[in-house]
C-alpha cells in the first residue's frame, strides 16, 4: 500500500547547536523546526509525532519554543481536511516533550502507538523534564482505556501497524526510540525523529573514517549505539531521512 506523507509544521525550538551536532562548539544557538507527519492512505489517516504542548513548557529544560497561530496542530490538520477524530493511529518516534505534547487532543478512539521501552523510560525519572507529567500522565490514562494505546516490543521484533507502515527499534537517541518506515509511491520513507538533526553536517561531512556519520550531542544512549542507529536507517533502500 502506498501512503502520501504530509509534513505538519508545528513550530520551532531554539537549542544550543552543540546538542544537534557533536562537532559544533557550544554557545551558539540554532533554531530547529518542530515537525509531525500526516500519513494519508485510501482508508485511514495516521499522525506521526504531535509537537510540544505549548512553547512555555520548553523553558523547563532551558529551551525556547515558538509557535505561530497557523502552526497549531489542529490548524495543521485542518489544512489537510482532517479532524482529530479522523485519525486512526498516532505514532510516536519517542516521547520527548517536543514530539508527544498534544496526544491528549485526540479522542480515546484514536490509538496512540509507543514502543513499550519508551513508555517505561518516560516514567523512570532518568531524563526528568524531557518527559513532563503533563504529557506522560495522559498516556497512563490511555494505558487503562481499552483500544486507546498500543505498546510495541520492538527490541524483539519489527511490528506492522497498517499495510505499508512498519515500526522498528531505533537503538539511538532514547532507550525506546523507534523508526517509522512508510511505503510511498516514491519508495520507502524513514521517519526517524531525532536520530539525525542535520544531513549536511552529520551524513555528508567528510571525516577521517569513510562512511562514519557524525553524532549528535543529544542522546541518552551510548555513542556506539547512536552511530549504529544512524547507519541502520541509512542502510534501508530508498530511505528518506527526517533531519528535524
Show pLDDT as tens, one digit a residue, over the chain (244 residues): 899 999 999 999 999 999 999 989 999 999 999 999 999 999 999 999 999 999 999 999 999 999 998 999 999 999 999 999 999 999 999 999 999 999 999 999 999 999 999 999 999 988 889 999 999 999 999 999 999 999 999 999 999 999 999 999 999 999 999 999 999 999 999 999 999 998 888 888 667 788 889 999 899 899 999 999 999 888 865 443 343 3
Residue 198, all three cell numbers: 542535520
Run of H or E including 169: strand 165-169
Q: Which pLDDT score is estimated for 206? A: 65
In a domain, 240, yes or no: no
Q: Let me know if residue 241 belongs to a domain.
A: no
Predicted TM-score (pTM) of the model is 0.93
Structural domain contains residue 150: yes
For residue 220, what are the domain limits? 4-235
Task: Confirm whether 214 is domain-assigned.
Answer: yes
Residue 48: inside a domain: yes
Residue 39 inside a domain? The answer is: yes
Within a domain: 74: yes
Domain count, the chain: 1
Q: What is the CATH number of the domain that holds 26?
A: 3.60.15.10
Q: How far apart are CA 214 and CA 206, in angstroms?
A: 9
- CB crowding 107-119: b at 16 or more within 10 Å, else e: eeebbbbbbebbb
Residue 95 lies in a domain: yes
pLDDT of amino acid 233: 87
Amino acid at each position: 500500500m502506498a501512503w502520501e506523507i504530509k509534513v505538519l509544521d508545528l513550530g520551532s525550538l531554539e537549542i544550543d547547536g552543540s546538542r544537534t551536532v557533536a562537532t559544533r562548539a557550544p554557545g551558539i544557538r540554532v533554531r530547529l523546526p518542530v515537525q509531525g507527519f500526516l500519513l494519508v492512505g485510501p482508508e485511514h489517516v495516521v499522525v506521526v509525532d504531535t509537537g510540544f504542548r505549548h512553547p512555555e513548557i520548553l523553558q523547563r529544560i532551558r529551551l525556547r519554543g515558538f509557535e505561530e497561530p497557523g502552526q497549531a496542530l489542529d490548524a495543521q490538520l485542518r489544512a489537510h481536511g482532517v479532524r482529530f477524530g479522523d485519525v486512526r493511529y498516532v505514532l510516536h518516534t519517542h516521547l520527548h516533550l517536543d514530539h508527544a505534547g498534544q496526544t491528549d487532543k485526540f479522542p480515546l478512539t484514536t490509538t496512540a502507538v509507543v514502543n513499550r521501552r519508551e513508555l517505561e523510560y518516560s516514567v523512570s525519572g532518568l531524563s526528568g523534564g524531557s518527559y513532563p507529567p503533563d504529557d506522560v500522565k495522559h498516556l497512563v490514562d490511555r494505558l487503562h482505556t481499552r483500544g486507546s494505546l498500543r505498546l510495541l516490543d520492538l527490541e524483539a521484533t519489527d511490528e506492522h501497524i497498517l499495510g505499508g507502515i512498519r515500526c522498528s527499534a531505533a537503538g539511538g537517541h532514547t532507550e525506546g526510540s523507534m523508526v517509522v518506515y512508510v511505503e510511498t509511491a516514491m519508495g520507502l520513507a524513514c521517519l526517524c525523529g531525532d536520530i539525525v538533526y542535520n544531513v549536511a553536517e552529520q551524513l555528508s561531512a567528510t571525516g577521517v573514517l569513510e562512511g562514519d556519520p557524525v553524532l549528535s550531542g543529544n542522546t541518552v544512549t551510548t555513542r556506539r549505539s547512536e552511530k549504529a542507529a544512524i547507519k541502520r536507517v541509512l542502510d534501508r533502500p530508498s530511505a528518506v531521512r527526517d533531519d528535524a
